[in-house]
Structure 1
């Protein structure tokens, strides 16, 4: 799904990828939603990843800095770059 096809409210849900709408598995979002202390945030899968500026540019403006891109979209973008 292209970001332009994303439902406007989808971009505002922090636990969903703003590009595909699937669970982004954001550990930071999960810990805040469950009430886990912010002093001991859970490590997230994305910390060890590199997100290309071209991928991040696809995130709708309303979701930038609010919702994480999921691992599947990151992998799909990487595959498309190497194809």
Structure 2
């Protein structure tokens, strides 16, 4: 999938490239209430760090392993 602009970039998980369903723009999101493991955050490409949320599916899959 090709992401065309920065606004689109923020809507997709930087790991699996699927929609991240982040609700941060509405003031609250599931990710505000969950601990994201540092090891998982380290997998985010540097150009997307702090710009796009990892999706809940990727976080849950990582925590299961």
Q: State the TM-score bracket (shorter-chain normalisation).
A: 0.7 to 0.9
> Measured at CA, do residues 8 and 58 of structure 1 come closer, stay the same or move farther in structure 2, by a change above 3 Å?
farther
Query: 1:20 maps to which residue?
Result: 16
How many residues are paired up?
A: 62
Counterpart check, 1:71 vs 2:19: no
Instruction: Give the SS at the match of 1:68.
Output: coil
Larger RCO (alpha carbons 8 Å, 6+ apart): 2
The runs of 5 or more residues in structure 2 that have no matched partner are none
Counterpart check, 1:56 vs 2:41: yes
Instruction: Give the SS at the match of 1:55.
Output: helix
Map 1:34-53 → 2, pairs under 5 A? 41-53=26-38
The ranges of structure 1 where at least 4 consecutive aligned residues each deviate by more than 3 angstroms after the TM superposition are 7-10
For the pair shown, the structure with the greater C-alpha radius of gyration is 1
Q: Tell me the TM-score normalised to structure 2 length.
A: 0.83
Pairwise CA RMSD: 2.0
